[in-house]
Amino acid sequence: MKSLLETAISRTPKRTSHAQVVDQLGKAIVSGEFPVGSILPGDPELAARFRVSRTVLREAMKTLAAKGMVVPRARIGTRVTPRKEWNLFDADILTWHFACGVDEEFLQHLSEVRLAFETHAAALAARNASDAEIATMMRLAVAMSHANHTAETLAEADLKFHLALLDACGNPFLRTVGSLIEAALVGVFRLSSPTDDEGGIDEVAQNHIHIVEEIGKRDEAGARQAMEYVIRYGRDRIHRALHAETGEGA
């Protein structure tokens, strides 16, 4: 399966009928076409809408139910569940939010989770990373400085760095927050890439190199602070981009 970032960059359609129905229904729920608490149309109507068999439709409903977005009720129908029950760590749900348009509150919540998890991961990497892992992270950070980066290739390089750091921190549970990092990078990619600014690529690269330098010194507090700076930097870029789109002051 393609990652969240790869999907955003390639914009390739889902291949199977099942995947297409899940994708379209998921977007319809996230966008509010089928609001929280509503009952989805019946199988005949949805099967006609998506031009699929009822078997495909039922499997799609099972997938959405597994993501916490819907729940079937006997003699009532399939109800859209409250948003608090959705699995927001799920890559598809994050993709649908960005496809439908995210607001500043959503992005703020996303950055808060990153600040909680990734700063601690950086500190753990300073404690646990091997010399080989530190060398890999430095190589990935330096690779972000290439002047010929496009928004797409810089986002991919950024993701590789953060996932390598999560691997190096030594806690396998933290690796599962990778989809949240991808979501944040998709936001930067779609709204305001550092490639848009003169010197932006070099600044981003230097910020990441600083994280590795602190990890290399085994300075847990320094690594934590360096990662916090990177996350806040990305958050502020998106904040400015959103206000520029609406014409509001930052």
Q: Over the stretch 46-68, which tens digit does the pLDDT of each residue have?
A: 999 999 999 999 999 999 999 99
Q: What is the pLDDT of residue 235?
A: 81
Residues 40, 131: Cα–Cα separation, whole Å: 54
Q: What is the pLDDT of residue 12?
A: 59
Residues 80, 72: Cα–Cα separation, whole Å: 9
pLDDT tens, residue by residue, 230-240: 999 888 877 77
Report the Cα–Cα distance between both ends of the chain, in Å, rounded: 38
Half-sphere exposure of 71 (CA within 13 A, CB side): 9
**Which residue numbers in the chain have pLDDT < 50?**
1-2, 249-250
Q: What is the pTM of this model?
A: 0.81
Cα-based distances in Å from 152 to 6, 79, 91, 162, 170: 9, 38, 18, 16, 29
Residues 238, 103: Cα–Cα separation, whole Å: 10
pLDDT tens, residue by residue, 239-249: 777 777 655 54
Q: Residue 77 forms beta bridges with which residues?
A: 73
Cα-based distances in Å from 65 to 22, 44, 123, 161, 174: 11, 19, 37, 33, 25
Q: What is the pLDDT of residue 6?
A: 65
